Structure 1
Amino acid sequence: MNTGNSPLAAGRARLGALSLAITGVLFLLYPLVRPYADEKSMQGAEAMASPAWVAAHLFGAVGFIFLALGLLGLRIALRETAAEPLASRAVVVTWIGAGLTLLYFGAEDFSLNAIGQRAVNEQNLKLLVELTEAVRYNPAAITVFGAGLVLLAVGVILAAVAVWRSGLLPRWSGVPLALGFALFIPQFFGTPAMRIAHGLLITAGSLWLASSLWRAQRR
Protein backbone atom coordinates (compact mmCIF):
# COMPACT_ATOMS: atom_id res chain seq x y z
CA MET A 1 0.00 0.00 0.00
CA ASN A 2 1.25 3.45 -0.87
CA THR A 3 0.93 5.66 2.18
CA GLY A 4 2.07 8.76 0.27
CA ASN A 5 4.08 10.01 3.22
CA SER A 6 6.38 12.93 2.43
CA PRO A 7 9.51 13.39 4.55
CA LEU A 8 7.73 16.24 6.37
CA ALA A 9 4.67 14.11 7.13
CA ALA A 10 6.86 11.20 8.19
CA GLY A 11 8.74 13.51 10.55
CA ARG A 12 5.49 14.72 12.07
CA ALA A 13 4.28 11.16 12.48
CA ARG A 14 7.53 10.30 14.28
CA LEU A 15 6.94 13.24 16.61
CA GLY A 16 3.56 11.67 17.28
CA ALA A 17 5.30 8.39 18.10
CA LEU A 18 7.61 10.23 20.50
CA SER A 19 4.59 11.92 22.10
CA LEU A 20 2.98 8.52 22.66
CA ALA A 21 6.15 7.22 24.29
CA ILE A 22 6.19 10.25 26.62
CA THR A 23 2.51 9.59 27.37
CA GLY A 24 3.40 6.13 28.59
CA VAL A 25 6.15 7.37 30.88
CA LEU A 26 3.94 10.09 32.38
CA PHE A 27 1.03 7.75 33.09
CA LEU A 28 3.39 5.42 34.92
CA LEU A 29 4.87 8.25 36.98
CA TYR A 30 1.38 9.47 37.93
CA PRO A 31 0.41 6.47 40.14
CA LEU A 32 4.00 5.76 41.22
CA VAL A 33 4.70 9.25 42.56
CA ARG A 34 1.20 9.90 43.96
CA PRO A 35 1.13 9.49 47.76
CA TYR A 36 -1.58 7.18 49.11
CA ALA A 37 -3.24 7.50 52.52
CA ASP A 38 -6.65 7.55 54.14
CA GLU A 39 -7.90 10.89 52.85
CA LYS A 40 -10.07 11.44 55.93
CA SER A 41 -7.04 11.36 58.23
CA MET A 42 -4.15 13.69 58.95
CA GLN A 43 -1.95 11.33 56.93
CA GLY A 44 -4.26 12.00 54.00
CA ALA A 45 -3.98 15.74 54.59
CA GLU A 46 -0.19 15.45 54.64
CA ALA A 47 -0.29 13.45 51.40
CA MET A 48 -2.38 16.11 49.67
CA ALA A 49 -0.16 18.87 51.05
CA SER A 50 3.02 17.25 49.75
CA PRO A 51 4.98 18.22 46.62
CA ALA A 52 4.56 14.61 45.45
CA TRP A 53 0.79 15.16 45.18
CA VAL A 54 1.30 18.16 42.91
CA ALA A 55 3.98 16.44 40.83
CA ALA A 56 1.96 13.24 40.34
CA HIS A 57 -1.14 15.03 39.13
CA LEU A 58 0.95 17.24 36.85
CA PHE A 59 2.39 14.08 35.30
CA GLY A 60 -1.14 12.85 34.65
CA ALA A 61 -2.33 16.19 33.27
CA VAL A 62 0.60 16.52 30.87
CA GLY A 63 0.09 12.88 29.90
CA PHE A 64 -3.35 13.75 28.50
CA ILE A 65 -1.79 16.51 26.41
CA PHE A 66 0.87 14.22 24.95
CA LEU A 67 -1.78 11.57 24.25
CA ALA A 68 -3.68 14.08 22.13
CA LEU A 69 -0.48 15.02 20.27
CA GLY A 70 0.37 11.35 19.77
CA LEU A 71 -2.97 10.59 18.17
CA LEU A 72 -2.50 13.58 15.87
CA GLY A 73 0.76 11.98 14.71
CA LEU A 74 -1.11 8.70 14.20
CA ARG A 75 -3.69 10.46 12.08
CA ILE A 76 -0.92 11.97 9.93
CA ALA A 77 0.62 8.53 9.44
CA LEU A 78 -2.74 7.08 8.34
CA ARG A 79 -3.71 9.97 6.11
CA GLU A 80 -3.45 7.99 2.85
CA THR A 81 -5.19 4.89 4.19
CA ALA A 82 -8.85 3.93 4.42
CA ALA A 83 -8.64 4.43 8.19
CA GLU A 84 -7.84 8.17 7.99
CA PRO A 85 -11.43 9.42 8.55
CA LEU A 86 -11.72 7.28 11.66
CA ALA A 87 -8.31 8.45 12.89
CA SER A 88 -9.42 12.06 12.41
CA ARG A 89 -12.54 11.47 14.49
CA ALA A 90 -10.36 9.85 17.15
CA VAL A 91 -8.21 13.00 17.35
CA VAL A 92 -11.20 15.33 17.70
CA VAL A 93 -12.95 13.21 20.35
CA THR A 94 -9.71 12.73 22.31
CA TRP A 95 -8.84 16.42 22.26
CA ILE A 96 -12.29 17.36 23.59
CA GLY A 97 -12.03 14.66 26.24
CA ALA A 98 -8.59 15.82 27.30
CA GLY A 99 -9.77 19.42 27.60
CA LEU A 100 -12.71 18.49 29.81
CA THR A 101 -10.62 16.15 31.95
CA LEU A 102 -7.90 18.75 32.53
CA LEU A 103 -10.43 21.15 34.09
CA TYR A 104 -11.00 18.67 36.91
CA PHE A 105 -7.38 17.56 37.14
CA GLY A 106 -6.31 21.11 37.89
CA ALA A 107 -8.72 21.28 40.81
CA GLU A 108 -7.63 17.86 42.05
CA ASP A 109 -4.02 18.95 41.93
CA PHE A 110 -3.85 22.53 43.17
CA SER A 111 -7.08 22.96 45.14
CA LEU A 112 -6.67 19.79 47.18
CA ASN A 113 -3.01 20.60 47.75
CA ALA A 114 -4.02 23.98 49.24
CA ILE A 115 -6.76 22.34 51.32
CA GLY A 116 -4.31 19.72 52.58
CA GLN A 117 -1.79 22.37 53.59
CA ARG A 118 -4.38 24.34 55.51
CA ALA A 119 -5.75 21.23 57.23
CA VAL A 120 -2.23 20.25 58.32
CA ASN A 121 -1.43 23.74 59.57
CA GLU A 122 -4.67 23.96 61.56
CA GLN A 123 -4.84 20.23 62.43
CA ASN A 124 -8.43 20.36 61.21
CA LEU A 125 -9.80 17.10 59.80
CA LYS A 126 -13.32 18.50 59.41
CA LEU A 127 -11.99 21.18 57.10
CA LEU A 128 -10.14 18.55 55.06
CA VAL A 129 -13.15 16.28 54.61
CA GLU A 130 -15.72 18.99 53.91
CA LEU A 131 -13.66 20.96 51.39
CA THR A 132 -12.26 17.88 49.66
CA GLU A 133 -15.76 16.53 49.09
CA ALA A 134 -16.96 19.95 47.94
CA VAL A 135 -14.22 20.10 45.30
CA ARG A 136 -14.43 16.49 44.14
CA TYR A 137 -18.17 15.93 44.18
CA ASN A 138 -19.47 19.24 42.94
CA PRO A 139 -22.16 18.08 40.45
CA ALA A 140 -20.89 20.19 37.56
CA ALA A 141 -17.26 19.25 38.19
CA ILE A 142 -17.83 15.51 38.46
CA THR A 143 -20.06 15.56 35.37
CA VAL A 144 -17.42 17.35 33.31
CA PHE A 145 -14.74 14.97 34.58
CA GLY A 146 -16.79 11.88 33.82
CA ALA A 147 -17.69 13.14 30.36
CA GLY A 148 -14.05 13.93 29.64
CA LEU A 149 -12.85 10.47 30.65
CA VAL A 150 -15.60 8.77 28.63
CA LEU A 151 -14.67 10.82 25.56
CA LEU A 152 -11.00 9.97 26.07
CA ALA A 153 -11.87 6.28 26.17
CA VAL A 154 -14.01 6.59 23.03
CA GLY A 155 -11.27 8.54 21.23
CA VAL A 156 -8.54 6.01 22.00
CA ILE A 157 -10.84 3.11 21.08
CA LEU A 158 -11.56 4.80 17.74
CA ALA A 159 -7.79 5.17 17.25
CA ALA A 160 -7.32 1.45 17.97
CA VAL A 161 -9.99 0.58 15.39
CA ALA A 162 -8.26 2.87 12.88
CA VAL A 163 -4.95 1.09 13.54
CA TRP A 164 -6.67 -2.28 13.06
CA ARG A 165 -8.14 -1.24 9.71
CA SER A 166 -5.14 0.69 8.40
CA GLY A 167 -3.03 -2.13 7.02
CA LEU A 168 -0.02 0.00 7.97
CA LEU A 169 0.49 -0.90 11.63
CA PRO A 170 0.20 -4.21 13.53
CA ARG A 171 -3.50 -4.79 14.13
CA TRP A 172 -3.24 -5.34 17.86
CA SER A 173 -0.85 -2.45 18.54
CA GLY A 174 -3.63 -0.03 19.50
CA VAL A 175 -5.63 -2.42 21.68
CA PRO A 176 -3.74 -2.27 25.03
CA LEU A 177 -3.80 1.53 25.05
CA ALA A 178 -7.53 1.52 24.30
CA LEU A 179 -8.08 -0.96 27.13
CA GLY A 180 -6.10 1.25 29.50
CA PHE A 181 -8.29 4.27 28.82
CA ALA A 182 -11.47 2.20 28.90
CA LEU A 183 -10.46 1.25 32.47
CA PHE A 184 -9.51 4.78 33.54
CA ILE A 185 -12.67 5.39 35.58
CA PRO A 186 -12.74 1.94 37.29
CA GLN A 187 -9.09 2.21 38.34
CA PHE A 188 -9.92 5.14 40.63
CA PHE A 189 -11.73 2.66 42.88
CA GLY A 190 -8.82 0.21 43.04
CA THR A 191 -5.98 -0.27 45.49
CA PRO A 192 -2.66 1.55 45.00
CA ALA A 193 -1.23 -1.65 43.49
CA MET A 194 -4.12 -1.84 41.02
CA ARG A 195 -3.65 1.80 40.07
CA ILE A 196 0.05 1.23 39.43
CA ALA A 197 -0.81 -1.85 37.35
CA HIS A 198 -3.18 0.30 35.34
CA GLY A 199 -0.36 2.80 34.77
CA LEU A 200 1.82 -0.05 33.54
CA LEU A 201 -0.91 -1.11 31.10
CA ILE A 202 -1.11 2.39 29.62
CA THR A 203 2.69 2.55 29.46
CA ALA A 204 2.93 -0.78 27.65
CA GLY A 205 0.17 0.22 25.24
CA SER A 206 1.67 3.63 24.55
CA LEU A 207 5.15 2.24 23.92
CA TRP A 208 3.87 -0.53 21.63
CA LEU A 209 1.87 1.89 19.51
CA ALA A 210 4.73 4.39 19.51
CA SER A 211 7.29 1.83 18.36
CA SER A 212 4.92 0.50 15.67
CA LEU A 213 4.29 4.01 14.37
CA TRP A 214 8.00 4.84 14.38
CA ARG A 215 8.92 1.67 12.47
CA ALA A 216 6.16 2.26 9.93
CA GLN A 217 7.56 5.71 9.11
CA ARG A 218 11.07 4.30 8.70
CA ARG A 219 9.74 1.77 6.19
Structure 2
Amino acid sequence: MPLTHTRLAAAALTAAGVLFFLYPALRPWADESTADGALHALSSPWWVATHLFAMIGFILVPLALLPINRIAAVIMWIGAGLTLPYYGAENFALNTIALKVSEGRQLDLLGLTESIRYHPAAAATFLIGLILLGAGALTAAVAIWRSGVLPRYSAVLFGIGFALFIPQFFVGEAGRIAHGVLMAAGCGWLAVSLWRTRTVPLGRPTTA
Protein backbone atom coordinates (compact mmCIF):
# COMPACT_ATOMS: atom_id res chain seq x y z
CA MET A 1 0.00 0.00 0.00
CA PRO A 2 1.47 3.38 -1.02
CA LEU A 3 2.65 5.91 1.51
CA THR A 4 -0.13 8.24 0.35
CA HIS A 5 -2.65 5.75 1.74
CA THR A 6 -1.11 5.89 5.20
CA ARG A 7 -1.16 9.68 5.01
CA LEU A 8 -4.84 9.58 4.12
CA ALA A 9 -5.41 7.19 7.00
CA ALA A 10 -3.65 9.62 9.33
CA ALA A 11 -5.85 12.45 8.07
CA ALA A 12 -8.98 10.35 8.57
CA LEU A 13 -7.92 9.51 12.13
CA THR A 14 -7.23 13.16 12.88
CA ALA A 15 -10.67 14.17 11.58
CA ALA A 16 -12.32 11.35 13.54
CA GLY A 17 -10.54 12.42 16.73
CA VAL A 18 -11.74 16.00 16.35
CA LEU A 19 -15.30 14.83 15.67
CA PHE A 20 -15.32 12.46 18.66
CA PHE A 21 -14.24 15.39 20.84
CA LEU A 22 -16.82 17.80 19.42
CA TYR A 23 -19.58 15.22 19.91
CA PRO A 24 -19.75 15.57 23.73
CA ALA A 25 -18.18 19.03 23.91
CA LEU A 26 -20.89 20.74 21.83
CA ARG A 27 -23.78 18.40 22.60
CA PRO A 28 -26.67 20.22 24.33
CA TRP A 29 -26.64 19.04 27.95
CA ALA A 30 -29.74 18.98 30.12
CA ASP A 31 -31.57 16.62 32.47
CA GLU A 32 -33.24 14.46 29.86
CA SER A 33 -35.26 12.63 32.51
CA THR A 34 -37.47 15.74 32.72
CA ALA A 35 -39.78 16.99 29.99
CA ASP A 36 -38.22 20.47 29.93
CA GLY A 37 -34.67 19.11 29.88
CA ALA A 38 -35.42 16.59 27.15
CA LEU A 39 -37.17 19.25 25.06
CA HIS A 40 -34.21 21.63 25.44
CA ALA A 41 -31.63 19.02 24.41
CA LEU A 42 -33.48 17.03 21.77
CA SER A 43 -34.95 19.99 19.87
CA SER A 44 -31.61 21.78 19.55
CA PRO A 45 -29.91 21.84 16.12
CA TRP A 46 -26.71 21.01 17.99
CA TRP A 47 -28.29 17.68 18.96
CA VAL A 48 -28.41 16.74 15.27
CA ALA A 49 -25.00 18.20 14.43
CA THR A 50 -23.08 16.58 17.30
CA HIS A 51 -24.58 13.14 16.78
CA LEU A 52 -23.67 13.44 13.11
CA PHE A 53 -20.11 14.19 14.22
CA ALA A 54 -19.99 10.85 16.06
CA MET A 55 -21.55 9.00 13.14
CA ILE A 56 -18.98 10.37 10.69
CA GLY A 57 -16.22 9.47 13.15
CA PHE A 58 -17.42 5.86 13.22
CA ILE A 59 -17.23 5.76 9.42
CA LEU A 60 -13.75 7.30 9.22
CA VAL A 61 -12.00 5.08 11.78
CA PRO A 62 -12.38 1.72 9.95
CA LEU A 63 -11.13 3.41 6.76
CA ALA A 64 -8.09 4.66 8.66
CA LEU A 65 -7.34 1.18 10.01
CA LEU A 66 -7.03 -0.45 6.57
CA PRO A 67 -3.27 0.28 6.25
CA ILE A 68 -2.72 -0.92 9.83
CA ASN A 69 -4.70 -4.12 10.22
CA ARG A 70 -7.43 -5.32 7.89
CA ILE A 71 -8.98 -7.67 10.45
CA ALA A 72 -9.39 -4.76 12.86
CA ALA A 73 -10.86 -2.63 10.04
CA VAL A 74 -13.44 -5.32 9.18
CA ILE A 75 -14.42 -5.79 12.83
CA MET A 76 -14.89 -2.05 13.24
CA TRP A 77 -16.83 -1.77 9.97
CA ILE A 78 -19.29 -4.38 11.23
CA GLY A 79 -19.43 -2.60 14.59
CA ALA A 80 -20.06 0.75 12.94
CA GLY A 81 -22.75 -0.78 10.75
CA LEU A 82 -24.59 -2.08 13.81
CA THR A 83 -24.11 1.12 15.79
CA LEU A 84 -25.14 3.73 13.20
CA PRO A 85 -28.86 2.76 12.91
CA TYR A 86 -29.29 3.46 16.63
CA TYR A 87 -27.48 6.78 16.34
CA GLY A 88 -29.68 7.67 13.38
CA ALA A 89 -32.87 6.88 15.26
CA GLU A 90 -31.79 8.77 18.36
CA ASN A 91 -30.53 11.69 16.32
CA PHE A 92 -33.25 12.31 13.73
CA ALA A 93 -36.29 10.65 15.31
CA LEU A 94 -35.90 12.21 18.74
CA ASN A 95 -35.14 15.62 17.24
CA THR A 96 -38.26 15.44 15.05
CA ILE A 97 -40.46 14.42 17.98
CA ALA A 98 -39.04 17.18 20.18
CA LEU A 99 -39.66 19.79 17.48
CA LYS A 100 -43.29 18.65 17.20
CA VAL A 101 -43.68 19.00 20.98
CA SER A 102 -42.11 22.47 20.86
CA GLU A 103 -44.79 23.43 18.31
CA GLY A 104 -47.48 22.48 20.81
CA ARG A 105 -48.34 19.02 19.48
CA GLN A 106 -49.73 16.67 22.13
CA LEU A 107 -46.99 14.05 22.30
CA ASP A 108 -45.50 12.19 25.24
CA LEU A 109 -41.88 13.23 24.67
CA LEU A 110 -40.38 11.24 27.55
CA GLY A 111 -42.38 8.11 26.73
CA LEU A 112 -41.50 8.23 23.05
CA THR A 113 -37.85 8.93 23.85
CA GLU A 114 -37.64 5.92 26.12
CA SER A 115 -39.43 3.71 23.57
CA ILE A 116 -36.93 4.64 20.85
CA ARG A 117 -33.83 4.40 23.03
CA TYR A 118 -34.76 1.11 24.66
CA HIS A 119 -36.36 -0.74 21.77
CA PRO A 120 -35.01 -4.29 22.27
CA ALA A 121 -33.63 -4.78 18.75
CA ALA A 122 -32.19 -1.27 18.58
CA ALA A 123 -30.54 -1.50 21.99
CA ALA A 124 -29.15 -4.98 21.24
CA THR A 125 -27.58 -4.03 17.90
CA PHE A 126 -26.22 -0.82 19.43
CA LEU A 127 -24.58 -2.76 22.26
CA ILE A 128 -23.13 -5.42 19.94
CA GLY A 129 -21.89 -2.72 17.56
CA LEU A 130 -20.07 -0.82 20.31
CA ILE A 131 -18.56 -4.05 21.63
CA LEU A 132 -17.24 -4.83 18.14
CA LEU A 133 -15.87 -1.30 17.77
CA GLY A 134 -13.98 -1.77 21.03
CA ALA A 135 -12.77 -5.21 19.94
CA GLY A 136 -11.59 -3.83 16.60
CA ALA A 137 -9.71 -0.98 18.23
CA LEU A 138 -8.02 -3.36 20.68
CA THR A 139 -7.16 -5.71 17.80
CA ALA A 140 -5.47 -2.79 16.02
CA ALA A 141 -3.63 -1.83 19.20
CA VAL A 142 -2.31 -5.38 19.66
CA ALA A 143 -1.28 -5.60 15.99
CA ILE A 144 0.64 -2.34 16.28
CA TRP A 145 2.30 -3.46 19.52
CA ARG A 146 3.51 -6.65 17.85
CA SER A 147 4.46 -5.21 14.46
CA GLY A 148 7.42 -3.11 15.54
CA VAL A 149 6.71 -0.70 12.67
CA LEU A 150 4.80 1.97 14.58
CA PRO A 151 5.65 2.97 18.17
CA ARG A 152 4.30 0.29 20.47
CA TYR A 153 2.25 2.64 22.60
CA SER A 154 0.82 4.65 19.69
CA ALA A 155 -2.55 2.86 19.73
CA VAL A 156 -2.95 2.34 23.48
CA LEU A 157 -5.15 5.41 24.06
CA PHE A 158 -7.02 4.63 20.85
CA GLY A 159 -7.88 1.16 22.14
CA ILE A 160 -8.79 2.40 25.62
CA GLY A 161 -11.03 5.12 24.21
CA PHE A 162 -13.12 2.68 22.19
CA ALA A 163 -13.15 0.13 25.01
CA LEU A 164 -14.70 2.81 27.25
CA PHE A 165 -17.35 3.89 24.75
CA ILE A 166 -20.11 1.95 26.52
CA PRO A 167 -19.16 2.92 30.12
CA GLN A 168 -18.95 6.62 29.24
CA PHE A 169 -22.69 6.70 28.56
CA PHE A 170 -23.26 6.16 32.29
CA VAL A 171 -21.29 9.18 33.52
CA GLY A 172 -22.19 12.84 33.53
CA GLU A 173 -21.33 15.70 31.22
CA ALA A 174 -17.77 16.18 32.54
CA GLY A 175 -16.99 12.47 32.21
CA ARG A 176 -18.30 12.28 28.68
CA ILE A 177 -16.35 15.34 27.61
CA ALA A 178 -13.26 13.81 29.22
CA HIS A 179 -13.90 10.69 27.14
CA GLY A 180 -14.09 12.91 24.05
CA VAL A 181 -10.67 14.31 24.95
CA LEU A 182 -9.37 10.73 25.34
CA MET A 183 -10.76 9.79 21.92
CA ALA A 184 -9.17 12.85 20.30
CA ALA A 185 -5.84 12.10 21.96
CA GLY A 186 -5.96 8.42 20.98
CA CYS A 187 -6.84 9.10 17.35
CA GLY A 188 -4.36 11.98 17.19
CA TRP A 189 -1.44 10.01 18.61
CA LEU A 190 -2.03 7.16 16.19
CA ALA A 191 -2.46 9.62 13.30
CA VAL A 192 0.89 11.32 14.05
CA SER A 193 2.60 7.93 14.23
CA LEU A 194 1.11 6.94 10.88
CA TRP A 195 2.08 10.23 9.29
CA ARG A 196 5.68 9.91 10.41
CA THR A 197 6.24 6.33 9.33
CA ARG A 198 7.78 5.60 5.95
CA THR A 199 7.01 1.90 6.18
CA VAL A 200 3.48 0.64 5.69
CA PRO A 201 2.27 -1.00 8.93
CA LEU A 202 1.30 -4.15 7.02
CA GLY A 203 4.99 -4.69 6.44
CA ARG A 204 5.34 -3.83 2.76
CA PRO A 205 7.77 -1.11 1.60
CA THR A 206 6.31 2.14 0.36
CA THR A 207 6.46 3.21 -3.27
CA ALA A 208 6.80 6.91 -2.51
Q: TM-score, normalised by structure 2?
A: 0.92
Within 1, Cα distance between the matches of 2:83 and 2:35?
27
Aligned: 1:105 with 2:98: no
2:42/2:94 contact within 8 Å kept: yes
The residue that corresponds to 1:51 in the other structure is 45
The residue that corresponds to 2:58 in the other structure is 64
2:27/2:46 contact within 8 Å kept: yes
**By how many angstroms is 1:88 displaced?**
1.8
Within 1, Cα distance between the matches of 2:6 and 2:42?
38
Within 1, Cα distance between the matches of 2:64 and 2:36?
40
**By how many angstroms is 1:123 displaced?**
7.0
Aligned: 1:12 with 2:8: no
Structure 2: runs of 5 or more not aligned: 200-205
Q: Percent identity?
A: 52
1:42/1:120 contact within 8 Å kept: no
Aligned: 1:202 with 2:183: yes
Within 1, Cα distance between the matches of 2:44 and 2:67?
35
Within 1, Cα distance between the matches of 2:167 and 2:158?
15
Aligned-partner SS, 1:27: helix
Structure 1: runs of 5 or more not aligned: 75-86
2:38/2:110 contact within 8 Å kept: no
**By how many angstroms is 1:161 displaced?**
0.3
Q: TM-score, normalised by structure 1?
A: 0.87
**By how many angstroms is 1:118 displaced?**
1.6
Q: Which runs of 4+ in 1 moved over 3 A?
A: none
- The count of corresponding residues between Structure 1 and Structure 2 is 199
Map Cα deviations across residues 139-178 of structure 1 (whole Å, 9 max, x no partner).
Answer: 0000000000000000000000011011100001101010
Aligned-partner SS, 1:217: coil
The residue that corresponds to 1:83 in the other structure is none
Map Cα deviations across residues 54-75 of structure 1 (whole Å, 9 max, x no partner).
Answer: 000000000101111111132x
The residue that corresponds to 1:121 in the other structure is 103
2:10/2:64 contact within 8 Å kept: yes
Map Cα deviations across residues 26-55 of structure 1 (whole Å, 9 max, x no partner).
Answer: 000100111011112213212101100000
**By how many angstroms is 1:112 displaced?**
0.6
The residue that corresponds to 1:89 in the other structure is 71
**By how many angstroms is 1:119 displaced?**
2.0
Provide the aligned C-alpha RMSD in A. 1.5
**By how many angstroms is 1:116 displaced?**
1.1
1:14/1:214 contact within 8 Å kept: yes
1:14/1:217 contact within 8 Å kept: no
